[in-house]
Amino acid sequence: MNNQKTVELIQHSTCEVLSMMLGVQAEAGEPYEESGTTETFSGIVSLVSVSGDWAGMGSIYCGTELALKLTGMMLLDDQVSTVNDDVLDAMAELGNMIVGNVKTMLEAELGPLALSIPTVICGRNYRALNGIGKTRIVVPFEVAGGTMIVKFYILPQASANRLRQAGVVQNVA
């Protein structure tokens, strides 16, 4: 899978979802790659796995204040002020829509793919390792006065299985 094409799919999907669902414009920043453990992060992350002949994961990171603002836009409620189930559900749905759109566009080239149910994590000063040793494409977006980061990787299922068997998958304490 071509990284530049994947960046374009992430940019298109993210901007389209935020515009259609929330009526807000997003401006894509400079994409980059990362591997290994993420930097320490505080806020909310929505994780959605992709599976089929190819396997991968998309993740949407944003700070708590931005998550509250985006949830308020989604629910048409400008009084959202604390992280609750509505906020976690809204972030899960944003992750599902953004990663789902990328998945749908990838299917033309990669064949049928499926999505997992989103997992949402909220906390302070945590680190994550996802990507089973695979370099992730990272695209930051400026949206509604904050920064949202979309990360994505995908590789052939056989490669993912080899990495698991080789012990590349690891836990982060």
- Rounded distance between C-alpha atoms, residue 16 and residue 26, angstroms: 9
pLDDT grade for 173, boundaries at 50, 70 and 90: very low
Topology at the third CATH level for domain 3-165: Chemotaxis protein chec (3.40.1550)
pLDDT for the residue numbered 126: 81
Q: What is the pLDDT of residues 96-122, one digit of tens each?
A: 999 999 999 999 999 999 999 999 999
For the chain, the maximum distance between any two Cα atoms, rounded to a whole number of angstroms, is 49
* pLDDT score of 67 more than 90: yes
Q: What is the pLDDT of residues 5-25, one digit of tens each?
A: 999 999 999 999 999 999 999
Element (H, E) at 60: strand 54-62
- Rounded distance between C-alpha atoms, residue 56 and residue 103, angstroms: 10
pLDDT for the residue numbered 77: 86
**Global model pTM greater than 0.75:** yes
